[in-house]
A and B are shown apart, each in its own frame.
Chain A
Amino acid sequence: MYGRKVKLRILFLIVLLSSIILTIFLVLKSLEENVVYFLSPTEVKNLNELTQDKIRIGGMVKKDSININSDKINFIITDFNNEINVVYSGLIPNLFQESKGVVAEGFLKDKNYFNAEKILAKHDENYMPPNIKEQIGEK
């Protein structure tokens, strides 16, 4: 039906694509811990040894856990299985709120205590007008 050259080109593309996809898959798989932007508190708990490097921890800001005294702010990041205490001083983003997503960048003091240097708010995928939010809140 098709010429020999056409068949060869199809074969070439299939072999080329499968080899690249496989390579990329393996590379991403082995780099997994660098591809993720942050660790969850559970993943921090499961770390074999305390890392000295700068890391990011992400999760929810636990309800009623934000504590501001003078220039320091304390709060708890939770993934609803494990928690980690965060201490931070500096600017906080507008969307930093209780029960909302947060990513903290800094150093682990121990497995329950995190010294943050930077706080980022993580917005979730929910978009709605304020009055709808109130209705949902009332339910």
Chain B
Amino acid sequence: MKFFNQNNLFNLSFRSQKIILIFFLLILSIGLFEALVLSPEDYLQGHAVRIMYVHVPSAWISLGIFSLIALLSVLVFIFKNKNFILIAKSLAPSGFIFNIIALVTGSIWGKPTWGTWWAWDARITSMLILALFYLMYLIAWRMFENKNYVLKVTSLIAIFGVINVPIVKFSVDWWSTLHQASSVNLISKSTIHPSMLIPLSIMTAAFVLFSLLIFLMKYNTELIKIKNKGLDRL
């Protein structure tokens, strides 16, 4: 239990940043080389398929981070664990950024392939709702001064919002949407060729490292704020 005191966490998260940055840059450059040079073009979309290597990992990560925030928020709400609050708070910015990236790259891909920038289908709309929940969560942290209050409000926003996560995931199966169904499936056979799955996996790893890096930076700042009690606003 002694390991989890804040000084140790601070040292750990501070020292690991450099290593993660190096790993991130390394894997990102391999991933970009794979995605932009080595991987083939698609039989139908041509080079537009390369947008997918940014779009899909971003969407996955934004969904994953929101689920994580919600899980932590449940624990925060019930057990009032101070460390989990900070972890959840520090995770939100990178999740939000990747959510926006997924929406924007999807739009850029949609114009040449579908013929439209935007469609109000179930997948795209639910993804927009997810972005709004991220925004609400981030704003709520800045809005309230009272610590007990901000803790409850932010946790409840995350817990409300997580109901949207399965809707995003299964929207393409439940309703007819313009967005295609998932190509990468864990249970059934994936409908994406291995030569395209490799860059997709590498880019996913790179983006995970990037969000981990941003998370550690945010988390460090929060710990510093607590150290200097004068600045502490949680």
Contacts and interface: CB of A to CB of B under 8 A. Distances in A.
B178 A37 contact: yes
B115 A93 contact: yes
Contacts of A96: 115
B203 interface: no
A118 B178 CA distance: 14
Contacts of A130: 40-43
Contacts of B40: 129-131
A79 to B, nearest CB: 10
A39 B176 CA distance: 8
Given A119-B115, A121-B114, A35 B122 contact: yes
Interface residues of A, number: 43
A127 B196 contact: yes
B228 interface: no
B162 to A, nearest CB: 9
B51 to A, nearest CB: 12
Given A13-B159, A17-B163, A58-B176, A127 B52 contact: yes
A62 B24 CA distance: 47
A1 interface: no
Interface string A101-132: 00100000000000000111111111111111
B184 to A, nearest CB: 9
A78 interface: no
Interface of B: 40-45, 49, 52, 74, 77-79, 112-116, 119-122, 159-160, 163, 167, 175-178, 180-183, 191-193, 195-196
Interface of A: 6, 9-10, 13, 16-17, 20-21, 24, 28, 32, 35-40, 58, 91-97, 100, 103, 118-133
